[in-house]
Amino acid sequence: MNAVRKQYLIIIYCFVTYSKGKTPRRPGPKKAANIDKDPVGVYCRIRPLGGEDEECCVEMISSSTIQLHAPDGLKANRNGEYKETQYSFKKVFGINTSQIELFEDIAKPLVEDLIHCKNGLLFTYGVTGSGKTFTMTGSPGEGGLLPRSLDMLFNSIGPFQAKRFVFKPDDKNGLEIQSQVDALLERQKRDSQQSVPKTPSSRQKADPEFADMISSEEACKSESVDDDCCYSVFVSYIEIYNNYIYDLLEEAPYDPIRPKWLGGGTPARSNEFVPPQSKILREDQNHNMYVAGCTEVEVKSTEEAFEVFWKGQKKRRIANTQLNRESSRSHSVFTVKLAQAPLDADGDHILQDKNQVNVSQLCLVDLAGSERTSRTRAEGSRLREAGNINQSLMTLRTCIEVLRENQMCGTNKMVPYRDSKVTHLFKNYFDGEGKVRMIVCVNPKADDYEETMLVMRFAEMTQEVEVARPVDRPICGLAAGRRYRNQAFKDELSQSLPALPGSELVDPADDQTLPRLIEVLERRHRVRQMMAEQFNKTATSLKSMLQQFDSQHNAKDTFLHEQQSKLNEKDKLILNQRSEIERLEKKSKTLEYKIDILQKTTDMYEQDKRSLQQELETREQRLQRELSERRRMEQRMQGVVTDTRLKWEKECTAPPVHPRHRRSQSAGGEKWVDHKPASNLDLDTVLQPIIPNAIKVSTPNEKALSKCHKYVLRHQELASDGELETKLIKGNVFKTRGGGQAVQFTDIETLKQECPTGPRYRIYPNTLTSST
C-alpha cells in the first residue's frame, strides 16, 4: 500500500511538473529607488603582551570601547600630562577571546551570506606583530577565521555539491555550466594526467600543520541551504607584493630554452626555475574587478581546500624583522567563490541555463602590517618592501577618507582606487553591494603606542563609511523539494524491480547464466507492464479528478467573478463617495480658509476702528480746546474793536470848526481809503468787495485821508460758530479845526464765508454773504 501511495505521489508530481511547460527564467534584480546601506563593521581584537615586564598602553573599558594610555616616556601635551583617548567599535575582543568566539560574531554571518548569493569582504588591519595572521589563519588546535569559514561552508553544502567540472570558469570572472558528457570527459582527462590532486579521504591526510585546526565539537553548519540547488566551490590565492599581483597557486614553469641570467653575468643552467609573472586587474561585464589569468581551483572538501591554501601559503613572502620574526611582507587575498544553480524539474540534473547560475564570493584578506622603518632598521629590499606596504595602506586610508566625505557631505570627489592594487581590487565591495568587515588587531605594548593611535583613528573613520546592503536573489519558477522527490522515486523503483544477477560468462558451456538473466528480465518486464497499467489507471483516475476539479474550479471562478464584479461596483461606489467626501473636505477647507481671512480682515477693521475712534476723540478734544481758545480770542478782539470804535466815534463826533464845501455824492467822484491791516487773511472767495478809486493802506495814514472822502476799515474776527468773518466799517472823512482829518463811521458791512456742505445751507461753494 505504501508503494502504491508513493507511486501515486510521483505520478501527480510528474503530471503537474510537465503540465507547466518550459521553466521560466528568473527575473533580473531590480534597482531600488532608495538603496539601503549599512556601515562597515569594524571590530577590535587585543592580543596578549609578549612578556610580563612589558608596559601596556591599551585598556579595555567595555565590550565596545578601549582606552589608550600614553607610555611613561612620552608626554601627550605641552603641560607634560598624560592624555587618555577612547575609541569605540562595534565590538571589542579581549585577550581571552577564543578563535571560535571571534568566528561566531564576525565570519559566520559572512558565510551565511555567501550561501545566500551575497558577497563579503573580511580583512585584518594593524601594526606589525599585532596578531593579524593568527586571527586569519590560526595555528594547530586554534584554527583562524579562514579554515573555520571553509569548514562551515563544506559542512553546509557537502551533500548538495555538483560533480567536478560541471561548473567551469570562463576566464572572464564568470562560470559556465557544462553538460554531463563534457564534465565526464574533463574528469577522465584529469584522471589520466593526474594533474589535479584527489580529495583526501580524511582530515589526517592534509598537511600536518592544518590537520587538527578545528575539532569536531567546534564544527558548525548553516541550516538554511537550498537543497534544490547544486553547489561548487572555487578558491584562489594571490599576494600583492611591492604593488604587483602574484598568483600563489600558479604552477612554477621551467624554461629549458631561454637561460636565466643571474647577477654578475653568469648564465644559469637550463631547466632553471622561472619566477612567476605578475598579474593585471581587469573589469568584467558587471563592472567588477578581477585578477586576469588567476588560477581558480575547484575543491570538494575542507581538507582539499586546506591543501590548496597551504600550497600558496608556502610561497608567500615573509621575512625576519626587528618587530616580528615572521613578518608578512605582502598583502594576501584568499577568495572563496561559490557557484550554485538549480536542479531541473526532474530534480536529477542541473538546469542548463547560464542565467540561473548565481556566483558569490568571500574575500579573506590579511594585510601586511604598517611599520616605521626607523624602528625596524630595514635596509635594501626590506626598506623597499616597507615603503610599498606603507604606501598601499596610505592609499587605503585616502580612499576611505574620500568615500566618507562623499557620503557625509554630499560631494562627488573621485576616489583614488587606482593608486594601489589593493584598493583597486577592493573597489567592487565599497562601490557595489555586500558586507565589509574589518578586524583591527592591537598589540598593547607601549612601544607601539603611536602606530596604534593612528590605526585607531583610521578604524573609527572607517566605521562611518556605508556600503549598499546586499539584496536577496531567490530562484523562481521551480517547485520545491525536487531533489528529495527524485531520490524517493529512484529508491521506490529500485525496490519494485528485481535486481539483475551477474551476467559474466566464464565458461562457454555455461547454460544457467543466460536463462537466469532472461527470467529476471522477463520478470522485470512484467513488473514494468503492471506498473505501466497501474500508471495508466492512476493517470485516468487522476485525469478525471483533475477534470472534476477543473469544473469545480470553473464554477468557483464564475462565482468569484460575480463576487468580484459586485465588489468592483461597491468599490466604484466607495470611490465616488470618497471623491465626494474629498470634494466636500476641499470645499470645507476652502471655506475655513475664507472664514479665516474674513476673521483676520474683521480683526484688522476692528483695530482700525479703535485707532480711528481714539484719533477722533483726540481731534474732538483738540477742537474743543481750539474753540475755547477762539472764543477767548473773539472776546478780546471784540473788546479791542469796541474800544477802537468808541475812540473813533468820540473823535468823529466833534463838529468841524470850518466845514468846507463837499462835492456832491451824485458826482460819483468819491475816493476811498481802503484800510486793510497786514494781519488780515484772504478768504479766496468768488465774490469780493470791489471799491473803485481806493487808496489801499495797511496802517492809518493822514496823507491818504487828506486826499479821500470815504474811509473803510477791514476788520476780521471769529464768529460764534468758529468761522472767520470780515467786517467793513465805513465812514466819511472831514477836516478838523486843527487842520487834520476826522472820520465819522456811518455803516458796518459783515462778510462771512460758510461751508456749502453744511446742514443748513444748500448753496454753491465759495459764496459770500453780507449783512448790514
Q: What is the pLDDT of residue 440?
A: 95
For residue 78, being part of any structural domain is answered with: no
Q: Is the pLDDT of residue 326 over 90?
A: no
DSSP conformational letter for 430: H
The shares of helix, strand and coil residues in the chain, as percent rounded to the nearest 5, are 40, 20, 35
Q: What is the pLDDT of residues 164-198, one digit of tens each?
A: 999 999 888 888 888 888 888 888 888 887 644 44
For residue 59, being part of any structural domain is answered with: no
Q: Which of 177, 174, 474, 160 is nearest to 352 (CA)?
A: 177
Query: For residues 414 and 424, what is the distance between their CA atoms, to the nearest angstrom?
Result: 13
Domain boundary, last residue among 443, 476, 510: 443
768 pLDDT band, cuts 50/70/90, is very low
16 is in an annotated binding site: no
Domain boundary, last residue among 414, 443, 472: 443
Q: What amino acid is encoded at 265 in this protein?
A: G
Q: What is the pLDDT of residue 560?
A: 92
Burial 397-434 (b: 16+ CB within 10 A, else e): bbbbbbbbeeeeeeeeeebebebbbbbbbbbbbbeebb
**pLDDT mean over 25-53:** 73
> H or E element: which one contains 622?
helix 513-652
Q: What is the pLDDT of residue 769?
A: 44
Please state the φ and ψ torsions of residue 549, each to the nearest 5 degrees. -65, -35
Domain boundary, last residue among 419, 443, 467: 443
Q: What is the pLDDT of residues 352-387, one digit of tens each?
A: 888 888 999 999 999 988 765 545 544 456 566 667
**Residue that has been written with the C-alpha cell 478838523 in this structure:** 736
For residue 539, being part of any structural domain is answered with: no
The gap from C-alpha 297 to its chain's centroid, in whole angstroms, comes to: 39
For residue 72, being part of any structural domain is answered with: no
State the DSSP string of 216-244: GGG----S---TTEEEEEEEEEEEEETTE
For residue 101, being part of any structural domain is answered with: yes
Q: What amino acid is encoded at 323 in this protein?
A: L
Query: For residues 9 and 203, what is the distance between their CA atoms, to the nearest angstrom?
Result: 41
CATH number of the domain encompassing residue 700: 2.60.40.4330
141 is in an annotated binding site: no
Q: What amino acid is encoded at 732 in this protein?
A: N
Angle between helices 513-652 and 2-19 (to 10 degrees): 50
Q: Which of 166, 150, 184 is nearest to 229 (CA)?
A: 166
For residue 464, being part of any structural domain is answered with: no
Query: For residues 340 and 225, what is the distance between their CA atoms, to the nearest angstrom?
Result: 11
Q: What is the pLDDT of residue 79?
A: 53
755 pLDDT band, cuts 50/70/90, is low
For residue 316, being part of any structural domain is answered with: yes
Q: What is the pLDDT of residues 112-157, one digit of tens each?
A: 999 999 999 999 999 988 999 999 998 888 899 999 999 999 999 9
579 is in an annotated binding site: no
**Residue-number span of the structural domain to which 705 is assigned:** 650-654+669-771
> H or E element: which one contains 588?
helix 513-652
Please state the φ and ψ torsions of residue 365, each to the nearest 5 degrees. -115, 130
127 is in an annotated binding site: yes
Contacts 24+ apart (CB under 8 A), 394-403: 395/419, 395/420, 395/422, 395/423, 396/420, 396/422, 396/423, 397/458, 397/461, 399/423, 399/430, 400/458, 400/461, 400/462, 400/465, 401/461, 403/430, 403/465
CATH number of the domain encompassing residue 223: 3.40.850.10
Query: For residues 312 and 210, what is the distance between their CA atoms, to the nearest angstrom?
Result: 13
129 is in an annotated binding site: yes
Query: For residues 637 and 631, what is the distance between their CA atoms, to the nearest angstrom?
Result: 10
Please state the φ and ψ torsions of residue 492, each to the nearest 5 degrees. -65, -40
Q: What is the pLDDT of residue 653?
A: 57
**Claim: this prediction has a pTM higher than 0.85:** no
Q: What is the pLDDT of residues 630-679, one digit of tens each?
A: 888 888 888 888 887 787 777 655 455 444 444 444 445 678 888 888 88
For residue 339, being part of any structural domain is answered with: yes
Please state the φ and ψ torsions of residue 697, each to the nearest 5 degrees. -130, 155
Please tell me the total count of domains within the chain. 2
Q: For a pLDDT cut of 70, what percent of the chain falls above it?
A: 77
**pLDDT mean over 338-342:** 92
132 is in an annotated binding site: yes
**Residue that has been written with the C-alpha cell 542548463 in this structure:** 352
